[in-house]
């Protein structure tokens, strides 16, 4: 345990340099939305010594297992993209899971990175760390200035703890751990679970299923449910069972009902661009570049986003248009909206030399095509 280190403990000597192409790079969460994009991005850039483990192969909640992994492999660089994530419904329902699991994952991976001399670590947080009523666009300096959004407060607190852990290790021990706060992400290998997914993939799947119902296309519905069963209902279920479970999620042949008023504004970034930004930062940015000269060093994390947003309602209609869906889109105002606006200030990121390229219209078309293609596999 970190707190049990003796006073005379000397950590492994660390150097601050660009990543070598043959360096050992551990991507924690390499099968997830962000981790898989980082993994693929590293391979495309010529990195040859990547290390990844599935959750079955390495339980990041198990301190002993994580210690053995670091002892065996001694990675030079770490991308901490592993996390327990979900949308507004899951965050509000599984509050203990979101804070407990994420704190443990972070403690284990960051702690062992320190003990085993990792040269550089990138920790991925979330813009939900910022107060509910932050001034827009949200600057990194807004952290801890006002109360958090209630529905995802446990997850946000866990991510704030991870950010502060990186910052504190850097200040006390001279490590080179950088925390980045991505906006809402979407892309290949996203989570399309109807209960636990984030807003954009959830709407893509709901509207797609509503379109299939309106077209009486049960072949596509069965293909969808075989890939991703809903509450145990897969493509082999009878028509009545399929309609019943989809109706539970407000998906019918006449239309689909989405959570909230549709008024909240959200910013979205294509996951492969997020990965590109992460790799760029690991290759080009060090903690010393971020800390400034103030006596009190804080808010050294980096927002990653587009600096552009749109309403949830406009996003829903954009998805429907992309699919050529002509059914009804409704919004249930009795369900929570969450924070009304979360637009990131990306001026720090731009000053460091990185800008996004994929706009939301192109991204929605990409994710829908990926989703359809994934069901064919």
By annotation, the residues acting in catalysis are: 155
Question: In three state form, how does the secondary structure of 216-270 look?
Answer: CCHHHHHHHHHHCCECCECCCCCHHHHHHHHHHCCECCCEEEEECCCCCEECEEE
Q: For Cα atoms 186, 300, 309, give the angle at the middle one, nearest 5 degrees.
A: 35
How many CB atoms are located within 10 Å of the residue 355 CB? 11
The end-to-end CA distance of the chain, in Å, is: 44
**Residue 191 CB partners (closer than 8 Å, separation 6+):** 33, 85, 86, 197, 198, 201
Contact present, 285 and 312 (Cβ < 8 Å): no
Token reading at 301 = 């994390």
Q: Kindly provide the b/e burial profile for residues 65-90, where b requires at least 16 CB atoms within 10 angstroms of the residue's own CB.
A: ebeebbeeeebbbbbbbbbbbbbbbb
Query: DSSP E strands: which ranges in 126-218?
Result: 177-182, 184-186
Residue 237 structure tokens: 């279920």
Q: Which phi-psi region, left, alpha or beta, contains residue 353 (left: φ > 0; alpha: ψ -120 to 50)?
A: left
- CA dist list (Å): 249 to 52, 217, 241, 347: 35, 18, 13, 39
* 60 HSE (CA, 13 A, CB side): 28
């Amino acid at each position: 345990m970190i707190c049990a280190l003796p006073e005379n403990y000397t950590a492994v000597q660390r150097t601050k340099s660009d990543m070598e192409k043959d360096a050992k790079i551990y991507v924690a969460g390499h099968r997830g939305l962000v981790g898989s994009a980082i993994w693929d991005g590293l391979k495309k850039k010529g990195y040859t010594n990547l290390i990844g483990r599935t959750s079955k192969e390495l339980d990041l909640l198990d301190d002993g297992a994580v210690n053995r992994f670091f002892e065996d492999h001694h990675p030079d660089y770490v991308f901490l993209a592993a996390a327990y994530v979900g949308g507004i419904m899951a965050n509000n329902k599984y509050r203990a899971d979101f804070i407990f699991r994420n704190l443990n994952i972070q403690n284990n991976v960051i702690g062992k990175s320190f003990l085993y001399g990792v040269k550089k670590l990138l920790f991925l947080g979330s813009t939900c760390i910022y107060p509910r009523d932050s001034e827009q666009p949200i600057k990194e300096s807004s952290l801890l200035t006002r109360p958090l959004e209630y529905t995802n407060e446990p997850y946000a607190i866990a991510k704030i703890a991870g950010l502060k852990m990186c910052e504190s290790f850097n200040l006390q021990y001279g490590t080179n751990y950088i925390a980045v706060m991505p906006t809402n992400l979407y892309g290949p290998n996203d989570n399309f679970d109807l209960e636990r997914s984030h807003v954009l993939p959830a709407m893509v799947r709901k509207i797609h299923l509503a379109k299939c119902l309106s077209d009486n296309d049960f072949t596509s519905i069965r293909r969808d449910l075989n890939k991703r069963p809903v509450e145990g209902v897969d493509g082999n279920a009878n028509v009545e069972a399929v309609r019943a479970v989809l109706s539970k999620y407000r998906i019918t042949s006449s239309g689909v009902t989405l959570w909230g008023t549709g008024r909240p504004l959200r910013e979205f970034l294509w996951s492969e661009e997020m990965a590109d930004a992460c790799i760029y930062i690991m290759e080009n940015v060090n903690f010393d570049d971020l800390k400034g000269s103030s006596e009190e060093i804080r808010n050294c994390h980096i927002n990653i986003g587009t600096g552009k947003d749109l309403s949830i309602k406009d996003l829903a209609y954009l998805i429907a248009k992309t699919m050529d869906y002509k059914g009804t889109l409704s919004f249930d105002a009795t369900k929570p909206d969450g924070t009304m606006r979360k637009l990131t200030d990306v001026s720090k990121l731009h000053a460091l030399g990185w800008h996004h390229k994929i706009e939301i219209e192109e991204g929605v078309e990409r994710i829908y095509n990926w989703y359809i293609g994934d069901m064919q596999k």
